[in-house]
Amino acid sequence: MRVGPNTVVTMDYTLRLDSGEVVDSSEGKEPLTFAYGQEQIIPGLERELAGLQPGEQKEIHVDVEEAYGPRRPDAVQEIPLDRFPEDITPTVGLRLSVRGPRGEEVPFVISGVSETHATLDFNHPLAGESLTFAVTVVGVQAGNGDERRIIIPGEA
């Protein structure tokens, strides 16, 4: 069976930046499993997997626009330090999350701290980056209609 609509795909992968730095990999972990066409992975990667079958390998380059998009200046905000809970000391590089308007977790990183404010960056950590995936398709099976419930291992 080939990767395409109404399939569940399992694959091993290594994700590199243009610099060659490896930022994520399934090596030593469970392969990634996702439902094709359900927007569970970035669009550029999903499109390039179409037609592959188990055992096939491919290197896939994904431009910024089809990965996590460009960095957005409007996704960076300053807030007063007194808005942080007492048990959290804002420091540069600290990753936290807040609840969004629909109850979802919205992650951010603290990118700056002054005497009175912290700068919060809500951009995805890989926003603004072109990505290269080395993938091996491990398995492809027919979907059963419950694919939106698939739990995907930790994302980059």
Residue 130 and residue 117 in one domain: no
Task: Give the Cα separation of 82 and 138 in Å (integer).
Answer: 49
Task: Give the Cα separation of 96 and 146 in Å (integer).
Answer: 31
In a domain, 46, yes or no: yes
Return the SS3 of 142. strand
Structural domain span for residue 104: 73-121
Could you report the per-residue pLDDT of 38-78, keeping only the tens digit for each?
A: 989 999 999 999 999 999 999 999 999 999 999 999 999 99
| Closest residue by Cα to residue 50 from 25, 100, 58, 17 | 58
Q: Which residue has the higher pLDDT, 156 or 27?
A: 27
pLDDT of residue 149: 46
pLDDT of residue 156: 40
In a domain, 62, yes or no: yes
* Domains in the chain, number: 2
pTM above 0.85, yes or no: no
CATH at residue 110: 2.40.10.330
In a domain, 155, yes or no: no
Residue 55 and residue 86 in one domain: no
Residue 14 and residue 59 in one domain: yes
Q: What is the percentage of the chain residues whose pLDDT exceeds 90?
A: 85
Residue 97 and residue 23 in one domain: no
| Closest residue by Cα to residue 152 from 31, 70, 24, 50 | 31
pLDDT of residue 146: 61
Residue 99 and residue 54 in one domain: no
Could you report the per-residue pLDDT of 101-156, keeping only the tens digit for each?
A: 899 899 999 999 999 999 999 999 999 999 999 999 999 999 876 655 444 444 44
